[in-house]
A and B are shown apart, each in its own frame.
Chain A
Amino acid sequence: MDAFTTLDGLVVPIDRANVDTDAIIPKQFLKSVKRSGFGPNLFDEWRYTDVGQPDQDCSGRPVNADFTLNQPRFSGAQILIARDNFGCGSSREHAVWALLDYGIRVVIAPSFADIFYNNCFKNGVLPFALSADEVDRIFKEIDANEGYRLQVDLAAQHVTLPSGETMTFEIDNFRKECLLQGLDEIALSLQHADAVREYEAKRKQEAPWLFAS
């Protein structure tokens, strides 16, 4: 996993609440057995006007010009901002893989669905919540200013607006450290292996049916 420290990036707005993972990456693309290549199909049903198929060359497909991802002013965006409950629905990590493959490293919303939020940290994507008012303000500023960028600093837990003002965000320490250092969480977990074996030995006494194969 790539570490995340700071990012100065262009911001693309998706002005919707309850953006679900089916919308982020529709089901037909989940048939892949790989982690990469989902970027061209990010928000497929909103982005194109035809029905997308797996393994299709998307470069010639008819696009929905109204959708923000298709607007030239948002080309190359690395930060995505949306409304409440972003990433709800299916647990598909493909949603995060699609965002990452497209180039998104930061997602900002007033709130996130738990599984999506969790999946982001496994892939070097930083999701954080700002208040609904702060998010609303950024939406309005994007609307008024072409080339709108934000500077995100994970260690300092704040985001700097073009005006120089900062907004702070909360993040759990363990997730923050893993992301800052790009740590392999499985290797970290395996440091607890002896404790896990002790636990298993105890549970086999208390609840042997859990270990009957």
Chain B
Amino acid sequence: MSNNTLYDKLWNSHQVRETDEGASVLYIDRHLVHEVTSPQAFEGLRIADRKPWRVDSVLATPDHNVPTTDRSKGIEETVARIQVETLDNNCEEFGLTEFKMDDPRQGIVHVVGPESGATLPGMTVVCGDSHTSTHGALGALAFGIGTSEVEHVLATQCLIQKKSKNMLVQVDGQLRDGVSAKDMALAIIGEIGTAGGTGYAIEFGGEAVRALSIEGRMTLCNMTIEAGARAGMVAVDEKTIEYVRGRTYAPKPDQWEQAKAAWADLHSDDGAEFDRTVIIDGATIEPQVTWGTSPEMVLPVGGSVPRPEDEADSVKRGNIERALAYMGLEGGQAITDIKLDKVFIGSCTNSRIEDLRDAAAVINGRQVAETVNQALVVPGSGLVKRQAEAEGLDKIFIEAGFEWREPGCSMCLAMNADRLGDGEHCASTSNRNFEGRQGQGGRTHLVSPAMAAVAAIAGHFVDVAQYIKAEKTEGKEA
């Protein structure tokens, strides 16, 4: 009986050969490209007089630098404009497919890939972006690379890699109402730490993971890198097949049955052995909020910020003290007492249609709190935006006082004009709460879309699970 993990299978099917030094030449099926990490790679190709090995494996779109406001006048900031134009020119010069800024299919590369069917089960997927782990939700081996490796893949269609170890994160049971894939991801990071997955490829399994939609699995796999692992993945099931069916770059009808048959094997065998297994009870996960400057500094919304004096280890105590000072918080302060200046719903973690539906669903005719200076909703792609507008979600957001924007990475990393001011607290559906990530001096709290939406209305964090329960009771009484 075979005893391979899903990761073993994906690795084995893409290993061209082993090198004399014991590394592997790994074949790459899909290469996603954006404007920030590619210009130096294309320049490298030109200098060495090399050409892309397989132009049809590349799909490019600008996302990090693009404005999320009116684009009719292009990009105002010169350096950002040059970078996006450089991507356009490189794609034209080398004959690569690009969804340009004015294309309705443009968007965050990790939203566009699965949405267009450019990323498929069983593929190896790379991109010069650490959140490439997202695509593992489809049963693919997907991981982020640096610019030198972007050039390497362009030139050779391969990477020289050492295989990682196997980790299984199994989430049993059922998630409670109001608890989402984002909370699951944050709870896992809280459990294993931001370096817990270093050196591993993580497969997510268990009843609660299987119960997630494909978009939920993308949120979960997206955050794998925040646990230190380059790749996260979920086994293929019926939901995966249904998700992929009919998408632009999905297998055509004459190849569909063959593809489906191949994908049926994309799961870990019963006898598969993992180097490490982590088991979490999904029913115990509460809505999560990060309080510090690392994603592992996370607590249930009902919790209180840690007191440094309670930490015995001096290095850890120093980390807590530094984080509290940066975040402007006091040890012992309740999470629900944190007042918010801004709210951001978007990013490759949480900007898909289901995320926007989750956020819109809890608004229920209420208004963004007056104390909140700005609440942004930034769809992940032009197609997500169009779908949301067809469902009337844009109106729900706008009437509540949110700004409805054009697609891009936006305030997740604040390369464009969307950013936090010094000292501002933000409830954000993005993935990193590092110092300065959303703007110098900005204070990020990572949460789910529904948690961000109710926080926008309340002006501080509230438990969305209790909020939903209260709404239901109110509804019955009325």
Q: Is the CB of A93 within 8 A of B146?
A: yes
- Whether B199 is near chain A, meaning CB under 8 Å from some CB there, is yes
Kindly provide the distance from the CB of B338 to the nearest chain A CB, expressed in whole angstroms. Answer: 22
Q: Is the CB of B83 within 8 A of A33?
A: yes
Q: Given A23-B436, A186-B50, A207 and B259 touching (CB < 8 A)?
A: yes
Q: Is the CB of A114 within 8 A of B65?
A: no
Q: Is the CB of B440 within 8 A of A26?
A: yes
Residues of A within 8 A of B162 (CB): 172
Number of residues of chain A lying within 8 A (CB) of chain B: 65
Residues of A within 8 A of B198 (CB): 85, 111-114
Bound Cα distance A69, B95 (Å) = 44
Mark the stretch among B120-128, B280-288, B376-384, B395-403 that contacts chain A.
B120-128
Kindly provide the distance from the CB of B322 to the nearest chain A CB, expressed in whole angstroms. Answer: 8
- Whether A145 is near chain B, meaning CB under 8 Å from some CB there, is no
Residues of A within 8 A of B435 (CB): 22-23, 45
**CB nearest neighbor in A for B156:** A189
Residues of A within 8 A of B50 (CB): 186
- Whether A70 is near chain B, meaning CB under 8 Å from some CB there, is no
Q: Is the CB of B144 within 8 A of A91?
A: yes
Residues of A within 8 A of B77 (CB): 31
Bound Cα distance A92, B131 (Å) = 11
Residues of B within 8 A of A88 (CB): 194-195, 228
Interface size class of B (residues with CB under 8 A): 35 or more
Q: Is the CB of B123 within 8 A of A210?
A: yes
Q: Given A88-B195, A199-B27, A30 and B40 touching (CB < 8 A)?
A: no
8 Å CB interface, B148-170 against A:
148-149, 151-152, 155-158, 160, 162, 164
Q: Is the CB of B130 within 8 A of A91?
A: yes
Residues of B within 8 A of A15 (CB): 318
Bound Cα distance A45, B437 (Å) = 11
Bound Cα distance A174, B53 (Å) = 24
- Whether B294 is near chain A, meaning CB under 8 Å from some CB there, is yes
Kindly provide the distance from the CB of B157 to the nearest chain A CB, expressed in whole angstroms. Answer: 6
Bound Cα distance A118, B315 (Å) = 26
Q: Is the CB of A90 within 8 A of B147?
A: no
Q: Is the CB of A27 within 8 A of B414?
A: yes
Q: Given A111-B195, A190-B155, A51 and B149 touching (CB < 8 A)?
A: no
Looking at A35, A96, A189, A200, the one whose CB has the most chain B CB atoms below 10 A away is A189
Mark the stretch among B14-22, B108-116, B268-276, B385-393 that contacts chain A.
B14-22
Q: Is the CB of A115 within 8 A of B21?
A: no
Residues of B within 8 A of A206 (CB): 262
Q: Is the CB of A115 within 8 A of B144?
A: yes
Residues of B within 8 A of A18 (CB): 194-195, 294, 319
- Whether B413 is near chain A, meaning CB under 8 Å from some CB there, is yes
Q: Is the CB of A31 within 8 A of B79?
A: yes
Bound Cα distance A177, B146 (Å) = 20
Q: Is the CB of A195 within 8 A of B199?
A: no
Q: Is the CB of A22 within 8 A of B434?
A: yes
Bound Cα distance A146, B152 (Å) = 42
- Whether B312 is near chain A, meaning CB under 8 Å from some CB there, is no
**CB nearest neighbor in B for A208:** B255
Q: Is the CB of B199 within 8 A of A186?
A: no
- Whether B374 is near chain A, meaning CB under 8 Å from some CB there, is no
Bound Cα distance A195, B315 (Å) = 49
Q: Is the CB of A119 within 8 A of B148?
A: yes
Kindly provide the distance from the CB of A47 to the nearest chain B CB, expressed in whole angstroms. Answer: 12
Q: Is the CB of A33 within 8 A of B413?
A: no
Residues of B within 8 A of A189 (CB): 25, 152, 155-156, 158, 160
- Whether A173 is near chain B, meaning CB under 8 Å from some CB there, is yes
| Interface positions of B (Cβ within 8 A of A) | 16-17, 19, 21-23, 25, 27, 29, 36-37, 39-40, 43, 48, 50, 53, 56, 64-65, 77, 79-80, 82-83, 86, 120, 122-123, 128-130, 144-149, 151-152, 155-158, 160, 162, 164, 194-195, 198-199, 225, 228-230, 249-252, 255, 258-259, 262, 294, 315, 318-319, 322, 413-415, 432, 434-437, 440
| Interface positions of A (Cβ within 8 A of B) | 15-18, 20, 22-23, 26-28, 30-35, 45, 51, 54-55, 83-85, 88-94, 96, 111-115, 118-119, 122-123, 172-174, 177, 184-186, 188-190, 192-193, 195-196, 199-200, 203, 206-213
Q: A83-B315, A185-B148 are in contact. List 4 more A-B contacts (CB 8 A).
A: A91-B146, A186-B151, A189-B155, A192-B16
